[in-house]
Amino acid sequence: MFIASVRLKNEVRASRGRAAPFRCRLVIMAKAPMAGAVKTRLAREVGIATATRFARQCCAALIARIGFDPRWDTLLCVTPDAARSSRHWPRGLVRMPQGPGDLGRRMQRVLDRAPAGPVVIIGTDIPGIRGAHVAEAFRVLGRQPHVFGPATDGGYWLVGSRRRPHTPQGLFARVRWSSEHTLADTLANLDSRSVGFVATLSDVDDAAALAGCGRRVPSPLSLR
């Protein structure tokens, strides 16, 4: 009995001395859904009101589906920075400002400043994103340093990094954003052997894409 008690105490002491496992972190890059400031390309075809409504519904549905999943911690990274305290965002999520610069500079800032552990970054305007996609991205990061979710337009809807032994620098250098070259330009900054992929999904940037997803975003509960 005494030997068992000593062994238990030693195991507890050893477990306290070990570093806690890294948490997986999902960062949602979100733009405040203000009329005239979101989905501007879509707005030129379907009108500002419809485009704004789509952006608001899509963002809310995404956060409801995967923002509170216990398999990862979620950070909401918002723009403009002043919108951090906006009523658009749900309670219970940590919010951080995106800061200045193009998309590459803002995502690099996320990778540099997020707490230790693997990070996956997504946007809010891909209606097809599910929790299973995010979970698969974190599984890929168990095998590869970097992961991408390609988009059908040549870009990507997800990017992730293991960030061990260090956070990658120059990942987003010389990238032609919002073009058919976006993914290829980013991959050119990496060793192809260090990259894994998850499902290819479609963005909604024009009237045809909006019609393809039913012209409306289903309720959050129906998309689980």
pTM for this predicted structure: 0.84
Rg, the chain, Cα only: 20
The dihedral sign for the CA sequence 109, 113, 118, 119: negative
Give the three-class secondary structure for 13.
helix
d(CA 34, CA 55): 9
The per-residue pLDDT for 5 is: 42
Break the chain into its structural domains and give their ranges.
Answer: 23-223
In tens, the pLDDT along 50-109 reads 888 999 999 999 999 999 999 999 999 999 998 888 888 888 999 999 999 999 999 999
d(CA 5, CA 203): 59
| DSSP state letters, 90-105 | PTTSEEEE--SS-HHH
Query: Is the CB of residue 161 less than 8 Å from the CB of residue 141?
Result: yes
Positions in the chain short of pLDDT 70 = 1-21, 214-224
User: Exposure pattern of 55-85 as b/e (b: 16+ CB <10 Å)?
Assistant: bbbbbbbbbebbbeeeebbbbbbbbeeebbe
Q: How many CB atoms lie within 10 A of CB 93?
A: 15
Query: Is the CB of residue 76 less than 8 Å from the CB of residue 96?
Result: yes
The per-residue pLDDT for 158 is: 98
Nearest to 46 by CA among 186, 207, 175: 207
- 118 by Cβ neighbours in 10 Å (0-12 / 13-18 / 19+) ranks as buried
Nearest to 179 by CA among 203, 161, 146, 207: 203
The per-residue pLDDT for 3 is: 44
Quick one: 23-223 is in which CATH superfamily?
Spore Coat Polysaccharide Biosynthesis Protein SpsA; Chain A (3.90.550.10)
